[in-house]
Amino acid sequence: MKQPNLATEIDMFGRITIALEEIEACREFVALIPEVRTNMVFAQPHAKTPDEVMAIDGRITIINSMPQASGRFRFGASSHMARLIIELMKTDPSVRAGIDFANPAGFSDWLTDYCTQHGWVSAMIDRRTEPAQIMIAEGSSMQWKAAEAVRTSGGRVPNIICDAGGMGKEPVCIIVGKEPIGIARDVCGIARDYAQSLK
Amino acid sequence: MKQPNLATEIDMFGRITIALEEIEACREFVALIPEVRTNMVFAQPHAKTPDEVMAIDGRITIINSMPQASGRFRFGASSHMARLIIELMKTDPSVRAGIDFANPAGFSDWLTDYCTQHGWVSAMIDRRTEPAQIMIAEGSSMQWKAAEAVRTSGGRVPNIICDAGGMGKEPVCIIVGKEPIGIARDVCGIARDYAQSLK
Amino acid sequence: MKQPNLATEIDMFGRITIALEEIEACREFVALIPEVRTNMVFAQPHAKTPDEVMAIDGRITIINSMPQASGRFRFGASSHMARLIIELMKTDPSVRAGIDFANPAGFSDWLTDYCTQHGWVSAMIDRRTEPAQIMIAEGSSMQWKAAEAVRTSGGRVPNIICDAGGMGKEPVCIIVGKEPIGIARDVCGIARDYAQSLK
Amino acid sequence: MKQPNLATEIDMFGRITIALEEIEACREFVALIPEVRTNMVFAQPHAKTPDEVMAIDGRITIINSMPQASGRFRFGASSHMARLIIELMKTDPSVRAGIDFANPAGFSDWLTDYCTQHGWVSAMIDRRTEPAQIMIAEGSSMQWKAAEAVRTSGGRVPNIICDAGGMGKEPVCIIVGKEPIGIARDVCGIARDYAQSLK
């Protein structure tokens, strides 16, 4: 594991703390926390392993009907999400942050429209097309998912990636970006507008 | 919601606290915490609604590589698990506690043997046989699951219920019993013996 | 350390949890949390050492302007308060629980009246009369304080003991009783009535 | 209250998080956590009120025999410590961070030597010389303490300020500096060397 320099570490802890405050203050986000819970990841520049990716130990859960981090930020606290970001960074090294959220029935159509309105690129992945030999190789699922997302987005990293779930796999979406404050604000915007749309 | 009397409330908070200490001290249980996280529920005698079932707010997650409760115990902190217990109580009112855990590939065969050795009744539910109209009716899934568990166990509540997951649903198991300390010790025993079996 | 039997442990964890909920829900208690923070102790029957006394790890502090426990309940988490209870139990073994709180300027006169109205015995200790050789012997201060409290209460354990502080020592009060739920409710009653009295 | 700009807020949250990690990892610091608990403050540039000073909600306490923050960082979470820093900033606006710690019997002589060895300026304040009318005016105690510290340090802000306590006041020290990471490392160095000195 490469140790970040102090300036990078200060920037990373500062940004992820403020991003978490955004999410914890957003009551509507509760409806978009999946059963597997939400995590937020923030990779060091040029991160190669999950140890170089900061995430929330224990993920973000729901306590007293509000989003709340279970533990603290820690390098190495995520594996799946961290690997997905690392894969995406191979295409675009500036994409260092991600937050995952639920993809309930009917949501992805609404979200596709929302992305169009905001000028965001979204990729809808169908895990049923994932080759069986990939599913069983530890870690290669995220490699496949990242490649699919980039492929369906014309060779670039999209803003949002959704999958429809699969056998034993809950459908989830992930929003990615350069740093966590911006995407935290964006995902709270999604949660508030989606809540409005259901009224 | 029926308010428990003070003696019942003392007994419930006391037992669930000690049960949680067992789980939080069991390093091997980490491997059996599913992606959807573990919860522990403890119903009031004759509970009819999730408000009468105590559970851990935010579920039990993994922090610093150990099991750890995200929040506190609270009546009403669980919906799925609470409803499952309430359904099972219709068959056997003495079964008031439950803890869910992961069902990774290959685990359920091992667990079936383990149950046989311990003289426990286990029920393996195949959610693919769950009628579609049930899946979409909020709450009726647990009703169906409880009925299936009792049916395949010859009319009684089994000690352990496992399902194989389904589209978008992670496979999980649940251990049930009269009160949480006993099943917490049992599930930690399962976790330790399963860890041994993998060596 | 004597390990409590399971029934005693259930009763203790259950009662102290419910007592803590009372305190954490009492906004007015914030004004009675001393700079040294509040602890709540609950001794096993016939406890002889702090290891046999349950208390809150890290004490009760103020978070978001409300009382909140810093950590969990744990045997051995208190030393001063635990020793005071152990000393008082030598006079009356039924007195197993205690909660300490602030003694701000002007408060003890108000509290003396309050105790009289409620038929409670209160003891006001003047630490300036504490012999110097006792102050420096680790642990003997609590022995002296307990003895003073019993002496000034006519040979019995009072309901409330206050001291006026001393050089380097913040003035504090402590309410004691058979178990923590009752005294938690009493101390919240004190906090609410004292807040009213200041209006 | 003046809202900090985003860059300042990122820098402040980042630095105070890393500083807290230093302290929470320092076992020896437990012996220097006073009964009133430790706080760490970090003021915005040109802060004028406690609302513009970041601090730990609920202070740093001792859990499982290690230093641990009770709550999160929050602007406005400290009053005494925040006011002391604000007063010191009137003399030297670059001094924006502070951490308080215990001043047990015999410690201040050792610390004076330690400061001399490290080329630090230390100020020993005698609160017995604090005029009575100041003690009772809310907030003016910190004004007096800051002025005394600057006066006895020849007109500049010292690195460390200790007071000997007083009636009802625990003796404490405070280390101050430009930002919290440096003083967190320094205070952990003090704690480790002091622990060595007692062996």
Q: DSSP secondary structure string, A144-161?
A: HHHHHHHHHTTTS--SEE
Residue A128 confidence (pLDDT) above 80: no
Average pLDDT over residues C132-148: 79
Share of chain B above pLDDT 70, in %: 96
Lowest mean pLDDT among A39-48, B71-80, B147-156, C133-142: C133-142
Q: Which of B24, B30, B35, B56 is the best mutation test for A, with the most CBs of A within 10 A?
A: B35
Which residues of chain D make contact with C168, given a CB cutoff of 8 A?
165-166, 169-171
pTM comes to 0.93
Identify the chains in contact with B, defined as 3+ C-beta pairs within 8 A.
A, C
| Interchain proximity B9–C6, CB inside 8 Å | no
- A171 has a chain B CB within 8 A of its CB: yes
pLDDT digits (tens, 9 = 90+) for C40-55: 999 999 999 999 999 9
Chains B and C are touching, with contact defined as 3 or more CB–CB pairs separated by less than 8 Å: yes
Judge contact between D35 and C170, C-beta under 8 A.
Answer: yes
Q: Least CB-CB distance to D170: which of C59, C70, C168?
A: C168
| Interchain proximity D59–C59, CB inside 8 Å | no
Q: Which of C9, C17, C74 is the best mutation test for B, with the most CBs of B within 10 A?
A: C17
Average pLDDT over residues C8-25: 98
Q: What is the separation, in whole angstroms, between the first and last Cα of chain B?
A: 48
Compute the distance between CA of residue C19 and CA of residue C41 in angstroms, rounded to an integer: 11
- D180 has a chain A CB within 8 A of its CB: no
- Tokens 């890290």 belong to which residue? C58
Determine the distance in angstroms separating the CA of B86 from the nearest CA of chain C, rounded to an integer: 23
Closest-CA residue of chain B to A80? B35
Please report the pLDDT score of residue D1 as a whole number. 72
Q: Pick from D79, D101, D99: which is nearest to D33 by CA?
A: D101
D167: confidence class by pLDDT, cuts 50, 70, 90? confident
Q: What's the number of CA atoms in the CB half-sphere (13 Å) around residue C52?
A: 19
Rounded to the nearest 5 degrees, what angle is found at the Cα of A51, between the Cα atoms of A47 and A57? 125
Compute the distance between CA of residue D28 and CA of residue D33 in angstroms, rounded to an integer: 10
Please report the pLDDT score of residue C138 as a whole number. 59
Residue B134 confidence (pLDDT) above 80: no
| Interchain proximity C17–B18, CB inside 8 Å | no
- B198 has a chain A CB within 8 A of its CB: no
Helices C140-152 & C80-91 angle (0-180, nearest 10):
40
The rounded Cα C103 to chain-centroid distance in angstroms is 12
Q: Which of residues 55-114 of B touch A (CB under 8 A)?
A: 57-59, 61-64, 68, 70-71
Residue D140 confidence (pLDDT) above 90: no
Compute the distance between CA of residue B38 and CA of residue D60 in angstroms, rounded to an integer: 30
Which residues face C42 on adjacent strands?
C54, C97
Where is B34: in which H helix or E strand? none
Which residues of chain A make contact with D56, given a CB cutoff of 8 A?
none
Q: Which of C6, C11, C13, C24 is the best mutation test for B, with the most CBs of B within 10 A?
A: C13
Residue D137 confidence (pLDDT) above 70: no
Q: Which of C33, C63, C81 is the best mutation test for D, with the most CBs of D within 10 A?
A: C63
Helices C6-24 & C180-197 angle (0-180, nearest 10):
10
Please report the pLDDT score of residue A110 as a whole number. 96
| Interchain proximity B62–A64, CB inside 8 Å | no
Please report the pLDDT score of residue C126 as a whole number. 84
Determine the distance in angstroms separating the CA of D81 from the nearest CA of chain C, rounded to an integer: 13
Average pLDDT over residues D126-145: 75
Please report the pLDDT score of residue B194 as a whole number. 97
pLDDT digits (tens, 9 = 90+) for B146-156: 999 999 999 99
Q: Least CB-CB distance to D35: which of C36, C64, C166?
A: C36
Average pLDDT over residues D63-69: 96
Judge contact between A43 and A52, C-beta under 8 A.
Answer: yes
Q: What's the number of CA atoms in the CB half-sphere (13 Å) around residue D17?
A: 21
- C10 has a chain B CB within 8 A of its CB: yes
Please report the pLDDT score of residue D61 as a whole number. 97
Residue C139 confidence (pLDDT) above 90: no
Q: Least CB-CB distance to A9: which of D12, D18, D73?
A: D18
- Mean pLDDT (chain D) is 94
Which residues of chain A make contact with B169, given a CB cutoff of 8 A?
168, 170
DSSP assignment, residue B94?
T
Which residues of chain B make contact with C6, given a CB cutoff of 8 A?
18, 181
Q: Pick from D103, D99, D115: which is nearest to D67 by CA?
A: D99
DSSP assignment, residue A137?
S
- A182 has a chain D CB within 8 A of its CB: no
pLDDT digits (tens, 9 = 90+) for D84-127: 999 999 999 999 999 999 999 999 999 999 999 999 999 999 87
Please report the pLDDT score of residue D57 as a whole number. 96
Neighbouring CB atoms inside 10 A of A148's CB total 19
Q: Least CB-CB distance to D165: which of C36, C57, C168?
A: C168
Pairing of strands D160-163, D122-125: parallel
Chains A and C are touching, with contact defined as 3 or more CB–CB pairs separated by less than 8 Å: no
- B126 has a chain A CB within 8 A of its CB: no
Lowest mean pLDDT among A136-145, B59-68, C80-89, C100-109: A136-145
Which residues face D41 on adjacent strands?
D55, D98
Neighbouring CB atoms inside 10 A of A136's CB total 10
Q: Least CB-CB distance to D70: which of C36, C63, C169?
A: C63
Where is D158: in which H helix or E strand? none
